[in-house]
Amino acid sequence: MNSFGRIFHIHIFGESHGENLGVVIDGCPAGINLCAADFESDLSRRRSGMRGTTSRRETDAPSIVSGVYNEYTTGAPLAILFSNNDTRSSDYEQFRTMPRPGHADFVAAKKWDNFNDPRGGGHFSGRITLALTAAGVVAKKCIAPISVSAELTEAGGSGANIPETVNNAMSNRDSVGGIIECRAQHIPVGLGAPFFDTVESLLAHILFAIPAVKGVEFGAGFAAARMTGSQHNDVFITSDGKTATNHAGGINGGITNGNELFFRVAVKPTASIACPQQTINVQTNMIETLHVKGRHDACIALRAPVVVEAAAAIVLCDLTLRRKADVITNV
């Protein structure tokens, strides 16, 4: 469903063109200094505006309506709301008849008997990642001094010329995907569990909830499948667990080993593209040509690194809080 986390438990809601979207954050410790201004830095990284992103403009002003008193978290659930203001909902009803290839129009209609909100993709929109990013801001504060940093390292197959690649896609009324790399520092040893809540399991769970993510790998990842054990094994060189290499991405047996946490995320190209596409008309049962209007990102991956950071911070926050219960001496 729309919630995630065992102790640091978040619950998101909202649609692309609905009145509000937001997140309820439960289990946030009391005593975290928090105000609306704390969100701006991360939210601005997610916001559209740079070339290759949608022309929709939202101010993304967070409204903290509960859980904070005198600028500190109280221990009660935080609720953070956002408004949708710059919406144009007229073009979406057609997608019930002619579902966009690669998009959720078809499955949403089938799953919910056409009761789904089609405007802007409804609840399936990348817009919802705004709520995730906001939760990430809170999580990052809770996990300090752990820090998380993600960046887009490749778009459309090119690592060197990302803007040019995106430009070309836009010229072709097409879109491109990308690769995001994420690293977290100052990770303690011992977060995570062998079954089923490995660090990889929890991170992948939330990462694959980000629209357009289609692959996740940790450390050497898929390349590890082509290595020998003697190549892949990371030699421990200090008694606090530092390793000479980091093919494991900082995780052994599902548990952090104190080295840098490292993973990579594959983001597919935006499904909504302006160039003509074929699709089925579910009423006539004929294949027809679809012209997708509306405003869309040519490379959604440009805006996704901060969302990936948020996802990672949310997992790390939950695991940090859970870590307290591991040994009786902590009780």
Select 48 or 116, whichever has its Cβ closest to its own copies.
116
Stretch 212-251: interaction string toward its own copies, x if CB under 8 A:
-xxxxxxxxxx-xxxxxxxxxxxxxxxx-x-x---xxx--
Instruction: Say whether residue 24 binds its own copies (CB under 8 A).
Output: yes
Q: CB of 38: closest distance to its own copies in angstroms?
A: 15
At residue 64, φ and ψ (nearest 5 deg) are: -90, 100
Instruction: Give residue for tokens 């953070």.
Output: 80
Per CB under 8 A, the list member of 88, 172, 185, 291 interacting with its own copies is 172
Instruction: Say whether residue 163 binds its own copies (CB under 8 A).
Output: no
The secondary structure element, H or E, covering residue 175 is none
Instruction: Say whether residue 36 binds its own copies (CB under 8 A).
Output: no
- Sign (positive or negative) of CA dihedral 284, 286, 289, 291: positive
Per CB under 8 A, the list member of 96, 181, 209, 260 interacting with its own copies is 209
Q: 196: burial class by Cβ within 10 Å (0-12, 13-18, 19+)?
A: exposed
Instruction: Say whether residue 194 binds its own copies (CB under 8 A).
Output: yes
Report which residue type is found at 304. A
Instruction: Say whether residue 37 binds its own copies (CB under 8 A).
Output: no
Instruction: Say whether residue 62 binds its own copies (CB under 8 A).
Output: no
Per CB under 8 A, the list member of 72, 94, 147, 149 interacting with its own copies is 72
Per CB under 8 A, the list member of 38, 42, 60, 154 interacting with its own copies is 154
User: Residue 299 to residues 179, 295, 296: CA-CA distances in angstroms?
Assistant: 11, 12, 9
Give the tokens for residue 155. 């778009």
Select 3 or 85, whichever has its Cβ closest to its own copies.
3
Q: What three-state secondary structure class fits 316? A: helix
Instruction: Say whether residue 201 binds its own copies (CB under 8 A).
Output: yes
Instruction: Say whether residue 29 binds its own copies (CB under 8 A).
Output: yes
Instruction: Say whether residue 160 binds its own copies (CB under 8 A).
Output: no
* 215: number of Cβ within 10 Å: 16
Per CB under 8 A, the list member of 39, 62, 128, 306 interacting with its own copies is 128
Instruction: Say whether residue 325 binds its own copies (CB under 8 A).
Output: yes
Among candidate residues 117, 305, 128, the one with its CA nearest the CA of residue 211: 128
Q: CB of 57: closest distance to its own copies in angstroms?
A: 21
Per CB under 8 A, the list member of 35, 57, 69, 161 interacting with its own copies is 69
# residues near its own copies by CB under 8 A: 155
Could you tell me if 119 and 15 are in contact, meaning their C-beta atoms sit under 8 angstroms apart? Answer: yes
Range 97-116, binding its own copies (CB under 8 A): 99-104, 106-108, 110-113, 115-116
Q: CB of 146: closest distance to its own copies in angstroms?
A: 11
C-alpha to C-alpha distance for 43 and 38, rounded to whole angstroms: 9
Instruction: Say whether residue 285 binds its own copies (CB under 8 A).
Output: yes
Q: Which stretch binds its own copies (CB under 8 A): 35-43, 51-59, 151-159, 302-310?
A: 151-159
Residues 53-79 as b or e (16 or more Cβ within 10 Å = b) = bbebebebebebeebbeeeebeeebbb
Task: Give Cβ neighbours of residue 250 (< 8 Å, ≥ 6 apart).
Answer: 184, 187, 219, 256, 257, 258, 259, 260, 261, 262
C-alpha to C-alpha distance for 194 and 318, rounded to whole angstroms: 16
Give the tokens for residue 52. 């290759």
Instruction: Say whether residue 195 binds its own copies (CB under 8 A).
Output: yes
